[in-house]
């Protein structure tokens, strides 16, 4: 009886702590959980796909996903991730018309880009490595996914998370469950999976469009000033988006070019393990961005420092854990035929950490509309990545891409740090928005782990001991982490 009372007391304590969190941090928490569940479905489907599909077809799937990201940049201008977030702050009294105008712009550009692609494809031999049938569903997927992205961005900005969490979770569940089940029945038909994924996303895209514009029976109109705002904000950022595409995808495209789809599949599985981290950090950044923009508008600089201080510790800890658990994760996801992927996980995982550091700095730059400088800095990192990949993949093979990617993400983070410092001076902000000492210490620890892990990967006892130490340290600092999240 006494133990039950203690258990209820603990549960009540956790509930009280949760209720003490700010609305923004509650939203951030639930979006992070939803992102984990959402990507977790994809993650769990990976061992099934690597076993159903042959290595060549799995490489084709990765290629399809890479082209999807590239065409989405031109087709949507990433309006839902940049101009839309900033515009919701600037046009808070007319958010519905602003949303409607930008969504119309995004869908119109998608249709134009698709038309240009297929026209060009008739005149010139296709160089994507994908058939026209694949490309039809790729553009259909992009067109309807836009509505989902805008709906989720709007919900994040308003710190509403219940319906958004359900939509993102269920859409991922149905995509993975239905397409994987049918793929198991049919066996080795990649095109069927692509078709089913697109159809499910179309259904959820239509539902999100209804929720945005028709559920409240509002009178909406397309405003030219919002179209102009979206274009003027996002067009200068295209080099920035392309630079990120290059940093995220060019290694895989070059591996496909130089070493073939089998090596691409092996490299991509290591990327899948590291994406456990990315889904976590990306969810945090998407949730923290509206909070950061609103805090900057109110000049609440301490609020930014307080809410992000221990996030870097959590992200650093998860990075280290994903590296240390890599041997087990690779065997689970791909089996013995993908074992050489293990050695690629450490540099790729640490790249994701530096991507998170960069995103924290770049949020400040996005708010103050330093779009041309953002693009310049990102382009420099991307060009470095292309040159280094071309040189070192040719010399050392596909494994070199993991290390060139890490080097370029470090360069990207440092470059945006200097841009961030420039902005503090320009805007006369005399308070430090982030804990720079903590960022530096965590970065150095992870780089040390990068070299040590090559020696201890085969020594399971030492790996598990380090895992236990990291978990213990995170546990001992749990109160500080929770206090930081409440602010």
Q: What is the DSSP track for 35-60?
A: HHHHHHHHHHHHHHHHHHS-HHHHHH
Greater confidence (409 vs 21) lies with 409
Distance CA 131, CA 195 (A): 13
Q: Does residue 486 carry a pLDDT above 70?
A: no
Helices (H) and strands (E) in the chain, counts: 21, 0
Question: Looking at residue 11, what is its pLDDT?
Answer: 44
SS3 at position 398 = coil
Q: Is 426 exposed, middle or buried (0-12, 13-18, 19+ CB in 10 A)?
A: exposed
78 conformational bin, left if phi > 0, alpha if psi -120 to 50, beta if neither: left
Our measurement of the distance from residue 65's CA atom to the centroid of its chain's CA atoms, rounded to an integer in Å, reads 14
SS3 at position 487 = coil
- Burial of 114-133, coded b for 16+ CB within 10 Å and e otherwise, reads beebeeeeeeeeeebbbeee
Task: Give me the mean pLDDT over the 255-281 stretch.
Answer: 78
Task: Give me the mean pLDDT over the 57-68 stretch.
Answer: 81
CB atoms within 10 A of CB 424: 15
Question: Looking at residue 319, what is its pLDDT?
Answer: 87
Q: Does residue 161 carry a pLDDT above 60?
A: yes
- Contact (CB, 8 A) for 351 and 405: yes
Q: CA triplet 263, 140, 164: central angle to 5 degrees?
A: 90
Q: Does residue 307 carry a pLDDT above 50?
A: yes
Alpha helical stretches, state H, 188-325: 190-213, 224-234, 238-245, 251-259, 261-298, 301-308, 311-324
Distance CA 426, CA 423 (A): 5
Distance CA 434, CA 306 (A): 8
**Residue in this structure with the two tokens 């693009």, named with its chain if needed:** 375
Distance CA 246, CA 40 (A): 25
Q: Which of 57-61, 401-405, 425-429 has the lowest mean pLDDT?
A: 57-61
CB atoms within 10 A of CB 442: 20
Distance CA 276, CA 353 (A): 12
**Percent of the chain clearing pLDDT 90 (strictly above):** 9
Backbone phi, psi, residue 50, to 5°: -65, -20
Question: Looking at residue 410, what is its pLDDT?
Answer: 93
Q: How confident is the model at residue 248 (pLDDT cuts 50, 70, 90)?
A: confident
Task: Give me the mean pLDDT over the 432-461 stretch.
Answer: 86
CB atoms within 10 A of CB 462: 14
Question: Looking at residue 256, what is its pLDDT?
Answer: 78
- Burial of 294-332, coded b for 16+ CB within 10 Å and e otherwise, reads bbbeeeebebbbbbbbbbbbbbbbbbbbbbbbbbebbee
Q: Does residue 153 carry a pLDDT above 80?
A: yes
Q: How confident is the model at residue 5 (pLDDT cuts 50, 70, 90)?
A: very low
Would you give the end-to-end CA distance of the chain in angstroms? 36
Could you tell me which residues come within 8 angstroms of residue 306 by beta carbon, excluding any fewer than 6 positions away? 484, 487
Distance CA 68, CA 210 (A): 25
Q: Model-level pTM?
A: 0.71
Q: Does residue 2 carry a pLDDT above 80?
A: no
CA 42, 44, 45, 46 torsion: positive or negative? positive
Greater confidence (409 vs 287) lies with 409
Instruction: State the chain's mean pLDDT as an integer.
Output: 80
Q: How confident is the model at residue 35 (pLDDT cuts 50, 70, 90)?
A: low
Could you tell me which residues come within 8 angstroms of residue 105 by beta carbon, excluding any fewer than 6 positions away? 77, 79, 227, 230, 231
- Contact (CB, 8 A) for 204 and 148: yes
Query: DSSP character for 315?
Result: H
């Amino acid at each position: 009886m006494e133990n039950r009372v203690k258990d209820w007391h603990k549960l009540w304590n956790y509930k009280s702590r949760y209720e003490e969190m700010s609305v923004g941090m509650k939203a951030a928490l639930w979006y992070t959980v939803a992102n984990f569940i959402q990507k977790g479905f994809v993650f769990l489907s990976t061992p099934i796909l690597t076993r159903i599909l042959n290595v060549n077809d799995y490489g084709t799937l990765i290629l399809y996903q890479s082209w999807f990201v590239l065409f989405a940049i031109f087709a949507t201008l990433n309006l839902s991730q940049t101009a839309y977030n900033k515009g919701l702050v600037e046009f808070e009294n007319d958010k519905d018309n602003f949303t409607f105008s930008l969504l119309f712009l995004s869908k119109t550009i998608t249709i134009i880009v698709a038309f240009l692609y297929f026209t060009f494809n008739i005149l010139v031999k296709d160089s994507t490595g994908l058939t026209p049938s694949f490309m039809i569903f790729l553009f259909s997927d992009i067109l309807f996914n836009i509505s989902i992205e805008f709906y989720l961005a709007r919900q994040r900005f308003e710190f509403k998370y219940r319906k958004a969490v359900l939509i993102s979770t269920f859409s991922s569940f149905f995509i993975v469950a239905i397409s994987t089940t049918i793929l198991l029945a049919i066996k080795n038909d990649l095109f069927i999976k692509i078709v089913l994924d697109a159809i499910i996303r179309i259904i959820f895209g239509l539902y999100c469009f209804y929720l945005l514009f028709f559920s409240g029976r509002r009178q909406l109109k397309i405003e030219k000033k919002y179209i102009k705002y979206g274009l003027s904000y996002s067009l200068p950022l295209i080099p920035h988006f392309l630079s990120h595409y290059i940093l995220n995808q060019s290694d895989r495209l070059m591996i496909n070019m130089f070493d073939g789809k089998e090596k691409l599949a092996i490299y991509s599985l290591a990327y899948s393990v590291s994406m456990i981290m990315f889904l976590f950090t990306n969810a945090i950044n998407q949730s923290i961005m509206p909070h950061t923009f609103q805090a900057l508008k109110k000049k609440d600089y301490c609020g930014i420092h307080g809410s992000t201080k221990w996030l870097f510790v959590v992200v650093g800890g998860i990075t280290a854990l994903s590296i240390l658990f890599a041997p087990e994760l690779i065997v689970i996801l791909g089996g013995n035929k993908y074992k050489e992927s293990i050695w690629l996980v450490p540099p790729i995982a640490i790249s994701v950490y530096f991507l998170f550091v960069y995103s924290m700095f770049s949020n400040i730059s996005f708010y103050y509309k330093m779009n041309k400088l953002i693009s310049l800095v990102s382009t420099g990192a991307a060009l470095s990545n292309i040159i280094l990949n071309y040189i070192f993949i040719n010399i050392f093979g596909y494994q070199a891409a993991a290390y060139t990617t890490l080097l370029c993400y470090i360069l990207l983070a440092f470059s945006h740090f200097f841009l961030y410092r420039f902005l503090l001076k320009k805007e006369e902000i005399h308070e430090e928005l982030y804990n720079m000492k903590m960022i530096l210490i965590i970065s150095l620890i992870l780089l040390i782990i990068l070299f040590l892990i090559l020696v201890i990967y085969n020594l399971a006892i030492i790996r598990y001991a380090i895992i236990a130490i990291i978990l213990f340290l995170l546990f001992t600092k749990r109160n500080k982490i929770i206090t930081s999240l409440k602010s």
